[in-house]
Amino acid sequence: MQLGTRWTSGAQLPAAVPEALAVGIRAVDEAIPLDELGQPRPRWTLTWLEGRPIAELDTGVVVSLNADGVAEVTYDGGDAFA
């Protein structure tokens, strides 16, 4: 069994995040604009489904690994972003 974890977008990724998944997470983090009013950034949740890592942002953005082990970004389980 693998336990998940949570962290704030833009913060250092936990050691449990595989590097292939981290690539997609960093790309999403870089696309989130800074809030000039000081609102907190959304948080990521890392879970494992059938041994595969899935990171979901509070906003509904999901980063998972496709069959080739490459990070794929979707929104609430919908279509992948181009």
Where in the chain are the domains? 5-30+41-75
Cα end-to-end distance, the chain, whole Å? 33
How much is the pLDDT for 38?
81
Beta bridge pairs of residue 6 = 45
- Please, which residues bridge with residue 49 across strands? 52
Instruction: Tell me which of 26-30, 31-35, 48-52, 77-81 is least confident.
Output: 77-81
Which pTM value belongs to this model? Answer: 0.85
Question: Measured between alpha carbons, how far is 44 from 15 in angstroms, rounded to an integer?
Answer: 14
**Helix (H) / strand (E) containing 19:** helix 19-31
Q: CA–CA separation, 44 vs 42, rounded Å?
A: 7
